[in-house]
A = this chain, B = another copy of it.
Amino acid sequence: MAIISSKDNKRIKDAKKLYQKKYRTTSYLIEGLHLYQEAVQAGARFKQIFVTEKFAHIPEATLVSQEVMRFLSDTETPQGLIAEVAFPSCHEQAEELQKVLILENVQDPGNVGTMIRTADAAGFDGVVVTGGSADIYAPKVLRTMQGAHFHLPIFQENEAQALYQRLKAQDMTLIATTLSPASVDYRKLVRPEKFALIMGNEGAGIASETEKTADILAHIVMPGRAESLNVAVAAGIVMFSLTDD
């Protein structure tokens, strides 16, 4: 079996570019056995799979040296498996879903990934990530999502306000979270049949336009002294309060 042992190899150099958003037009990289297995189960299409000796048994894999794997990896201790996965060719529409999480301008990749993972656990059926948020195919987002993007559809949407209008026209209730105690205590929410939960930016919260557009504004009552919660923790608390019994 041939082995790629040079970092200057064109396939390696081209693959590494996929860590930059501008090169991710048709595919992205995933790393590690767990995500690879999730991708296989989801029927994802692989463009190429780079492995070290340890994973040489994987079908269609291309063997690379440890040094090339370290070069190609986004982590400090590479597991020895990096796959290039094609973007799904068609998507459902966000409008057809019942229970959607919307991330409005959430910037930290770890927060974006964790919230999508939580939405998957809570039984939401889709996620929309609006412009200004971390790119969902960035390595850190993929690591923290732990394969959730293979379980539920994720949309990227530049025009948040236009999306909200479309969702409202489809009888979807928009619930936006705020820090304001003048809004509804999340524990008093009666779960609508079709709804979207909007989580805002780490520092600034939801946009002021969103505050006007949303059907319901809700907040988490905090009996303690901290002024706010991490957005991913807040999202988890509200999402699980809106799960089925």
Question: Which residues from chain A sit less than 8 Å from chain B, CB to CB?
Answer: 110, 114, 117-124, 144, 146-148, 151-152, 220-230, 232-237, 240, 243-244
Sort A-B residue pairs by CB-CB distance and give the 6 closest, nearest first.
A123-B223, A233-B236, A121-B226, A123-B224, A120-B226, A151-B225
Query: B144 to A226, Cβ gap below 8 A?
Result: no
| Cα A225 to Cα B152 with chains together (Å) | 9
| Cα A115 to Cα B65 with chains together (Å) | 40
Interface of A is mostly: loop
Q: List 8 A–B pairs whose Cβ atoms lie within 8 Å, in order of A's numbering.
A: A114-B232, A117-B229, A118-B233, A121-B224, A144-B230, A223-B244, A230-B232, A232-B232
A5 to B: closest C-beta gap in Å: 33
Contacting residues, chain B, for A146 (C-beta < 8 A): 226-228
Contacts A232-B233, A233-B232 given; does A224 touch B120 at CB 8 Å:
yes
